[in-house]
């Protein structure tokens, strides 16, 4: 039996022994233990070190608000830092280590910071480290030098770099009623709503439903509250319209009654089952939310209140009643309200000696005096704790007379020997979700607490959340909320009967005992009462300034323990009531949420892969793939030992000499259909399409409304009211939305449907002097000669018995054809074309060769249509129809878009026969040391097999006017400088004789 474990009691499974380690030392605990309760049972008092002063710290709380006992949980190499020991359910083989200490928790060199105490006061960073004005450490250097050490001293746990092997998952849920919190109020609400047939989700962040019923020691309907809770849960489990989510923290209340919750599915298990996620992220759309989230007990602010062994009263009660662990043998309590008396009695029952109850109030009610004597505790009314003693564990405390009216201390101090000091500074309703939902909390001077605001979304509060701290009220409010949420009338049926200790819910308005020594407000961040007063002296008096200047409330507990005491101290300094200092609006998340869980199913799978039908063929035939947006496209089909350049040069040369074939299935394809299709195209393209003959294609250009170039491609007229539009791969989605917008919003009178058929049709572009011969040898059902298939003509036929649509158009500048077929057949067509091409030495080519040939031809792509260029800049003004308005026509001639200093498309030839780089700049005079006066930049470049030179396309100031002149490429990033000649962008076969054949 471990030193602090009680003989009996608690809902732990004493028959199950669980082995785990903390900081390397082996410990045992029982089923149902948290890491905190198990270590406490083993006599551990020191759990962590504080952020700034590295002070030794013990457990403050028993739940999610714990600020001190943060640990890192290890699963092999994978680290999970900053987890509150109070929230870690132990399992066999659990490995946990403490944080923010070197070399050990017991001996931490960081503790020397305590010596600097007064210098390291709030805001000290801002007042120093500016460093010298001159010399080697001027500017930012001195600060960065100091910062190097500050950064290493700061921080809590250490994150790992080993990839997390776990799976995370998202679940989209819908319900009529979401109940948050499973205490008596939540259970009643869930049951009432479920009985009405509503779809109910009940979520609680703890492993066991029941909330305070699990440790209050009260009885409900004649049975222990814990049993009543378990019985209620059992009744809920039966209903198939109820989903129970234990270990599930509802952390975010978003617009539209959308709530975000995190379910810890396997964190408490040794291992996950096959396919089981570590955590599940619930996105819940709820009709109505019942907020039954309870309340937090507040610490009191007094010297030495952070000593290990000083704990919240209800936390000690939980450890004793729920886990069968005594936080101390000789326990004193320090309180400003009645609830601590119940805790005293509970701990007495559990076997501790209650040496004293120190109450700041002089007038303590008779009921409380009765409870005190029941606990056999000396009652020191009108007293306060002014000091605590001990090092890594509490040994005693000092008390003095205290006047709650004016906060004055009097008389001699008196020492009390105790190894546990439990404090209660009153209770704060857990209103975070209500605040997130978008409203400001309201201060209640009786409760000395912020109460939930009027709902701004569909939620109803119940129980301690509303400031109703008694279980009887919780049960009544819970049922009423459940019924209302389910749309049912209120019920007058009798409610479960509660037997509970008496108590006044209103505390005395005492938050701080002013005496000598450090009194902590924010435990983790080491913010003291003096820091708050310093902030006041320096004018940081609004609550947000207070937080930001002192970091109060910015720790991992997000102010759950410190907000109200901090505000109270500032209010006193200002001589204003607390609400005038204000409260900060709570923001998501309620408690910290793992980033993996938010990535959910996309962890390890950020974006889908988009594949053409021929993808597997490309992979099997030596293609190196290139990711273009979500698509994968062949870059080259390299041969053994070939460089990328050698490969694309071979592919391009072979195409120009005989024939090549490329997969063009990724081009955006949009079916434009309907009586007004032609009219619509006339409006969206800069050039005419209504005049296009059936069975012919035309190259088209689109502008944006602002008159700049948007996208280009060929559009085919397949019938009177039937067009097939092609777009660039990159812009397919944008163009689709553009068209849909105009049809839906601007021109609803047009009878046109647009449908993405990108995936319906797969395409192969086959080009080169022998392309036609290859087609002729394998296409049936149509001729492909000049008469049957002139430039920009379209025919229908078959390849390998499969229907194909062939359009004669050219991107490569060769005699070329695009062969389209249904995607399910296209690989067969592709293979048939390659087979037919064998006698002609047909090559497959990839994006690099495609790019090379288009650069030789001077065609533009996304690199030139970059959202900043006009049709004129790209020498496409010949496509701007004067006969009709089109999208962008009214805006395209504004002064800035026709200015003479705009960048224009030109060609470049490297005069030093060395490769050029995309993104290199163009200058008139070369200055490698201090490059300046850029004229423009290279958009695309390659080695041109056709010209035998390194060439490029570029956007250059002056443009055409510079044809034939010399300049320099200036590429300091890649140290590439050299002479170039500026030429026309049409390097190769400018009059197009090859493609017209």
Partner 1 sequence: MLITCPYCGPRDVIEFTYQGDGNRERPQPASQNLDAWNAYVYDRLNPAGDHNEIWQHSGGCRAHLRVVRNTITHEVLRTAFARGGHRTEGRS
Partner 2 sequence: MAEHQLPERLSPLEPEYHPGSHGNFEHGIDVILSETRPGSILQLAAWPGEEKGLIEAIRNVTGLALPDGAGGGVSNGTRAVFGFAPGKFTVVDEGEGLASAFAGVITPAIGTLTDLSHGRTAIRIAGPKAEWVMAKFFAIDFALPAFPLGAGRSTNHHDIFAQIQRSGADQFDIYVFRSFARSFWKALCHASEEVGYEVQ
Partner 3 sequence: MAEYSAFSLLKNALTGNKDWKPAWRKPDPKASYDVIVIGGGGHGLSTAYYLAKEHGITNVAVLEKGWLGSGNVGRNTTAVRSNYLLPQNTRFYEHSMKLWENLSHDLNYNVMFSQRGCLNLAHTPAQLDDYARRGNAMRHLGVDAELMSVDQIKRLVPALDISGSARFPVLGGLMQRRAGSARHDAVAWGYARGADRRGVDIIENCEVTGFLRDGGRITGVSTTRGEIRAKKVALAVAGSTGRVMQLAGISHMPIESHVLQAFVSESLKPIIDTILTFGMGHFYISQSDKGGLVYGGDLDGYNSYAQRGSLPIVDEVMSEMVALFPGLARVRMLRSWGGLCDMTMDGSPIITTGPLPGMYLNCGWCYGGFKATPASGWCFAHTIAKDEPHAFNAPFTLDRFYRGLVIDDKGQGATPRLH
Minimum distance of partner 3 from residue 710's CB (angstroms): 8
110 binds partner 3 (CB under 8 A): no
Tokens of 564: 């109200």
- β-partners of residue 258 are 254, 285
DSSP code at position 744? I
Region binding partner 2 by CB under 8 A among candidate stretches 367-375, 543-551, 608-616, 835-843: 608-616
Q: Quick check: 863 and 919 in contact, CB under 8 A?
A: no
Closest separation in Å from C-beta 287 to partner 1:
11
Minimal distance in Å, beta carbon 937 to partner 3?
Answer: 5
Chain centroid to Cα 68, Å, comes to 26
Residue 171 partner contact from partner 2, partner 1, partner 3, none using kind-dependent CB cut-offs of 5 to 8 Å: partner 2
Residues 221 and 262: beta-carbon distance below 8 Å: no
- Residue 155 contacts which entry, partner 2, partner 3, partner 1, none (Cβ below 5-8 A, type-dependent): partner 3
Q: Tell me the number of residues near partner 1 by CB under 8 A.
A: 26
741 binds partner 2 (CB under 8 A): no
Q: What does the block give as tokens for 967?
A: 């300049």
Q: Is 61 exposed, middle or buried (0-12, 13-18, 19+ CB in 10 A)?
A: buried
CB of 743 to partner 1, least distance (A): 7
Give CA–CA dist 547/565, Å, rounded: 12
User: For residues 740-769, which are near partner 1 according to CB under 8 A?
Assistant: 740-741, 743-746, 748
User: 740: part of which helix (H) or strand (E)?
Assistant: helix 732-741
> What span, in angstroms and rounded, lies between the C-alpha atoms of 379 and 368?
10
Query: Do strands 383-390 and 394-403 pair parallel, antiparallel, or not at all (unpaired)?
Result: antiparallel
R_g (Cα) of the chain, nearest Å: 38
Among 234, 974, 991, 993, binds partner 3 (CB under 8 A): 974
Contacts 24+ apart (CB under 8 A), 111-117: 111/49, 111/53, 111/54, 111/55, 111/56, 113/52, 113/53, 113/54, 113/153, 114/53, 114/54, 114/55, 117/53, 117/518
Q: Cβ(62)–Cβ(88) under 8 Å?
A: no
Which residue has 């058929």 as its token pair? Answer: 757
CB of residue 170 to partner 2, shortest distance in Å: 6
Tokens representing 279 are 């955590």
737 lines the binding site for partner 1 (CB under 8 A): yes
Backbone angles phi, psi at 732, to 5 degrees: -50, -50
HEC secondary structure over 467-524? CCCCHHHHHHHHHHHHHHHCCCCCCCCCCCCEECCCCCCCCCCCCECCCCCCEEEECC
Min separation Cβ 621 and partner 2, Å: 15
* Greatest Cα pair distance in the chain: 116
Decide whether 284 or 380 has the Cβ nearer to partner 3: 284
DSSP designation for 583: -
602 binds partner 3, rule: CB under 8 A: yes
Joined tokens for residue 775:
């087609």
Residue that the structure tokens 């457990």 belong to: 59
Is 270 one of the binding residues for partner 2 (CB under 8 A)?
no
Q: Which is nearer to partner 3, 571 or 752 (CB)?
A: 571
Segment contacting partner 3 by CB under 8 A, of 184-192, 306-314, 684-692, 891-899? 891-899
**Concatenated DSSP letters of 786-798:** TTTS-TTBEEEEE
Interface pattern 881-900 for partner 1 (x via CB under 8 A): ----xx--xxx--x------
Closest to partner 2 by CB, 828 or 963: 828
Binders of partner 3 in range 253-282 (CB under 8 A): 254-255, 258, 260
Residue from 393, 488, 495, 599 binding partner 3 (CB under 8 A): 599
Which listed range, 177-185, 271-279, 479-487, 489-497, lies at the site for partner 2 (CB under 8 A)?
271-279
Q: 29 - beta bridge partners?
A: 18
d(CA 570, CA 192) in angstroms, rounded, equals 43
Cβ atoms of residues 844 and 619 within 8 Å? no
Place of tokens 């408690």: 591
Nearest to partner 3 of 140, 691 (CB atom): 140
With contacts defined by CB under 8 A, name the span among 220-228, 234-242, 535-543, 982-990 that binds partner 3. 535-543
Concatenate the DSSP letters of all residues of 679-706 into one string: HHHHHHBSS--TTPPTTBEEEEEEE-TT
Q: Interaction with partner 2 in 182-221: which residues (CB under 8 A)? A: 199
Distances in whole angstroms, Cα of residue 942 to Cα of each of 199, 627, 630: 64, 19, 25
Output the smallest distance, CB 168 to partner 1, in A: 18
Least distance between partner 3 and beta carbon 951 (Å): 15
List the interface residues with partner 1, window 228-287 (CB under 8 A): 254-258, 283, 285
> Given the complex with partner 1, which of 97 and 754 has the nearer CB atom?
754
How many CA within 13 A on the CB side of residue 868? 8
Nearest-angstrom CA–CA distance, 601 and 607: 11
Whichever of 237 and 740 has its CB closer to partner 1, that residue is 740
Parallel, antiparallel or unpaired: strands 25-31 and 248-254? unpaired
* Alpha carbon distance 607, 610 (integer Å): 9
Site for partner 3 in 708-767 (CB under 8 A): 708
CB of 673 to partner 2, least distance (A): 4
Please report how close the Cβ of residue 508 comes to partner 3 at its closest, in angstroms. Answer: 29
Nearer to partner 2, 802 or 911 (CB): 802
Of 644-703, binders to partner 3 (CB under 8 A) are none
Q: Which of 31, 803, 931, 992 binds partner 3 (CB under 8 A)?
A: 931
The closest of 330, 349, 347, 333 to 297, measured between CA atoms, is 333
Q: Examine residue 406 and tell whether it contacts partner 2 (CB under 8 A).
A: no
CB of 151 to partner 3, least distance (A): 5
- When asked if residue 146 is in the footprint of partner 2 (CB under 8 A), the reply is no
Which DSSP helix (H) or strand (E) runs through 147?
Answer: helix 141-153
Q: Which does 791 bind (CB under 5 to 8 A by kind): partner 1, partner 3, partner 2, none?
A: none
Q: Which residues, numbered 423-462, are part of the site for partner 3 (CB under 8 A)?
A: 438
181 binds partner 2 (CB under 8 A): no
Q: Which does 743 bind (CB under 5 to 8 A by kind): partner 2, partner 1, partner 3, none?
A: partner 1
Residue 130 in contact with partner 2, rule: CB under 8 A: no
- Is 748 or 964 the residue whose CB approaches partner 2 more closely? 748
694 binds partner 2 (CB under 8 A): no
- By CB under 8 A, name the one of 895, 901, 925, 991 that touches partner 3: 895
End-to-end CA separation in angstroms for the chain: 96
CA 453 to chain CA centroid, Å, is 28
Q: How far is the CB of 963 from partner 3 (least distance, A)?
A: 22
Task: Answer yes or no whether residue 630 interacts with partner 2 by CB under 8 A.
Answer: yes
Using CB under 8 A, pick the residue from 23, 91, 114, 129 that binds partner 3. Answer: 129
How many positions of this chain bind partner 3 (CB under 8 A)? 116
Q: What are phi and psi of 147, to 5 degrees?
A: -60, -35
Which residue in the set 616, 877, 928, 933 belongs to the binding site for partner 2 (CB under 8 A)? 616
Number of Cβ atoms within 10 Å of the Cβ of 866: 15
Closest CA to 813 of 944, 676, 717, 722: 944
Among 71, 194, 593, 662, binds partner 3 (CB under 8 A): 593
Residues that bind partner 1 in the complex, under the rule CB under 8 A: 254-258, 283, 285, 438, 456, 683, 705-706, 737, 740-741, 743-746, 748, 885-886, 889-891, 894
Residues near partner 2 (CB under 8 A) are 169-174, 199, 273-277, 283, 285, 601-602, 605, 607-613, 616, 630-631, 671, 673-675, 721, 748, 751, 753, 755-762, 800-803, 822-825, 827-828
């Amino acid at each position: 039996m471990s030193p602090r474990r009680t003989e009996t009691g608690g809902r732990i499974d004493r028959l199950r022994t669980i082995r785990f380690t903390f900081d390397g030392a082996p410990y045992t605990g029982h089923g149902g233990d948290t890491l905190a309760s198990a270590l406490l049972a083993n006599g551990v008092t020191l759990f962590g070190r504080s952020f700034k002063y590295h002070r030794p710290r013990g457990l403050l709380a028993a739940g999610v608000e714990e600020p001190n006992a943060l640990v890192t949980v290890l699963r092999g190499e994978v680290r999970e830092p900053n987890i509150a020991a109070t929230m870690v359910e132990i399992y066999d083989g659990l490995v946990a280590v403490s944080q923010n200490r070197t070399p050990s928790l017991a001996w931490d060199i960081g503790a020397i910071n305590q010596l600097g105490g007064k210098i390291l006061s709030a805001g000290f960073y801002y007042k120093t480290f500016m460093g010298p004005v001159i010399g080697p450490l001027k500017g930012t250097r001195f600060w960065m030098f100091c910062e190097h050490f500050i950064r290493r001293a700061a921080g809590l746990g250490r994150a790992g770099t080993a990839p997390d092997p776990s799976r995370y998952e998202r679940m989209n849920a819908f319900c009529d009623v979401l109940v948050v919190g499973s205490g008596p109020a939540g259970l009643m609400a869930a049951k009432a709503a479920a009985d009405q047939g509503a779809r109910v989700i009940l979520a609680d962040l703890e492993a066991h439903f029941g909330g305070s019923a699990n440790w209050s020691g009260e009885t409900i309907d004649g049975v222990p509250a814990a049993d009543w809770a378990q019985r209620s849960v059992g009744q809920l489990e039966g209903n198939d319209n109820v989903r129970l989510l234990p270990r599930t923290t509802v952390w975010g209340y978003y617009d539209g009654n959308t709530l975000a919750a995190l379910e810890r599915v396997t964190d408490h298990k040794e291992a996950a089952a096959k396919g089981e996620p570590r955590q599940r992220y619930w996105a819940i759309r709820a009709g109505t939310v019942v907020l039954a989230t309870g309340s937090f007990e507040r610490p009191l602010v007094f010297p030495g209140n952070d000593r290990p062994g000083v704990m919240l009263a209800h936390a000690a009660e939980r450890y004793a009643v729920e886990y069968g662990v005594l936080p101390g043998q000789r326990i004193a309590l320090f309180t400003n309200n009645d609830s601590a008396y119940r805790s005293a009695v509970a701990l007495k029952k559990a076997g501790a000696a209650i040496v004293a109850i120190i109450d700041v109030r002089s007038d303590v009610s008779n009921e409380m005096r009765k409870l005190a004597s029941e606990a056999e505790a000396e009652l020191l009314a009108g007293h306060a704790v002014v000091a605590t003693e001990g090092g890594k564990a509490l040994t005693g405390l000092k008390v003095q007379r205290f006047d709650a009216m004016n906060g004055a201390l009097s008389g001699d101090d008196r020492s009390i020997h105790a190894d546990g000091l439990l404090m209660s500074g009153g209770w704060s309703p857990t209103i975070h979700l209500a605040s997130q939902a978008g409203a400001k909390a309201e201060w209640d001077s009786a409760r000395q607490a912020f109460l939930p605001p009027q709902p701004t979304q569909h939620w109803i509060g119940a129980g301690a959340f509303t400031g109703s701290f008694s279980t009887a009220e919780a049960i009544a409010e819970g049922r009423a909320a459940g019924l209302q949420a389910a749309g049912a009338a209120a019920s007058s049926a009798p409610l479960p009967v509660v037997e509970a200790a008496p108590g006044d819910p209103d505390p005395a308005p005492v938050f701080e005992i002013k005496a000598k020594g450090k009194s902590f407000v924010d435990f983790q961040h080491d913010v003291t009462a003096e820091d708050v007063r310093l902030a006041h002296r320096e004018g940081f008096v609004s609550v947000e300034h207070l937080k930001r200047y002192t970091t109060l409330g910015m720790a991992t507990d997000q102010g759950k323990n410190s907000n109200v005491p901090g505000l109270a101290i500032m209010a006193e300094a200002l001589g204003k009531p607390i609400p005038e200092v204000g409260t900060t609006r709570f923001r998501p998340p309620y408690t910290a949420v793992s980033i993996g869980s938010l990535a959910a199913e996309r962890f390890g799978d950020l974006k889908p892969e988009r594949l053409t039908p021929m993808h597997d063929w490309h992979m099997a035939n030596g293609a190196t793939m290139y990711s273009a947006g979500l698509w994968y496209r062949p870059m080259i089909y390299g041969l053994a030992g070939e460089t990328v350049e050698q490969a694309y040069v071979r592919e391009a040369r072979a195409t120009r000499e005989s024939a090549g074939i490329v997969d063009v299935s990724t081009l955006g394809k949009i079916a434009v259909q309907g009586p007004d299709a032609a009219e619509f195209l006339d409006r969206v393209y800069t050039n005419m399409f209504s005049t296009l003959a059936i069975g012919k294609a035309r190259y088209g250009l689109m502008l944006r409304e602002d008159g700049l170039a948007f996208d280009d491609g060929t559009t085919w007229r397949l019938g009177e009211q039937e067009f097939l539009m092609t777009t660039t791969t990159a812009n397919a989605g944008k163009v689709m939305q553009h068209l849909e917008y105009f049809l839906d919003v601007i021109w609803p009178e047009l009878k046109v449907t647009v449908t993405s058929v990108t995936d319906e049709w797969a395409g192969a572009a086959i080009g080169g002097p022998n392309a036609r011969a290859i087609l002729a040898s394998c296409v049936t059902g149509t001729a492909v000669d000049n008469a049957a298939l002139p430039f920009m003509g379209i025919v229908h036929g078959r390849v390998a018995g499969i229907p194909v649509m062939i359009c004669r158009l050219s991107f490569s500048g060769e005699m070329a054809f695009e062969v389209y077929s249904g995607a399910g057949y296209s690989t067969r067509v592709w293979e048939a074309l390659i087979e037919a091409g064998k006698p002609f030495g047909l090559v497959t080519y990839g994006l690099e060769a495609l790019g090379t040939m288009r650069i030789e031809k001077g065609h533009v792509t996304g690199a030139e249509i970059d959202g900043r260029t006009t049709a004129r800049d790209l020498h496409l003004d010949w496509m701007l129809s004067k006969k009709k308005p089109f999208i962008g026509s009214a805006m395209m001639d504004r002064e800035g878009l026709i200015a003479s200093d705009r960048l224009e498309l030109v060609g470049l030839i490297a005069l030093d026969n060395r490769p050029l780089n995309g993104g290199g700049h163009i200058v008139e005079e070369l200055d490698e040391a201090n490059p300046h006066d850029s004229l423009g930049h290279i958009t695309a470049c390659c080695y041109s097999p056709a010209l035998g030179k390194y060439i490029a396309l570029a956007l250059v100031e002056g443009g055409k006017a510079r044809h034939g002149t010399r300049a320099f490429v200036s590429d300091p990033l890649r140290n590439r400088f050299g002479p170039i000649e500026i030429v026309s962008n049409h390097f190769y076969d400018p009059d197009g004789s090859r493609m017209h054949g």
